[in-house]
Amino acid sequence: MAFLFKNSDGKPSLSFTMVYTSFFVALLWFALSIVNTPHIKSFDVATASGFISPLLALYFGRKWSDSKTVTPDSSTSSP
């Protein structure tokens, strides 16, 4: 999937892509509400937090569970 952003490990990540795009949408919504654009609802922090928070929980929960996964070290040989 070439359209996914890469996370801090350098791997394509759907959860990071979702967090990045939702933050950009919230930032765009905030900027458009400042200039009082017609047909754009005024910026609401609770609504913006409502769709960013679960995505942040998904991303950081995923990073936490990936860091807890033990991978076998290939440098040590088993007897």
Percentage of the chain exceeding pLDDT 90: 38
Backbone angles phi, psi at 12, to 5 degrees: -60, 135
Q: How far apart are CA 75 and CA 32, in angstroms?
A: 54
Asked if residue 54 is part of any domain, the answer here is yes
In a domain, 33, yes or no: yes
**Structural domain contains residue 32:** yes
To the nearest 10°, report the CA torsion of 69, 10, 21, 26. 80
Q: How many separate domains does the chain show?
A: 1
> What pTM value is reported for the model?
0.72
Q: What is the pLDDT of residues 18-66, one digit of tens each?
A: 999 999 999 999 999 998 878 888 899 999 999 899 999 998 998 888 7
- For residue 9, tell me if it sits in a domain: no
Domain around 44: 14-62
Q: Give yes or no for a contact between 45 and 52, defined as CB atoms under 8 angstroms apart.
A: no
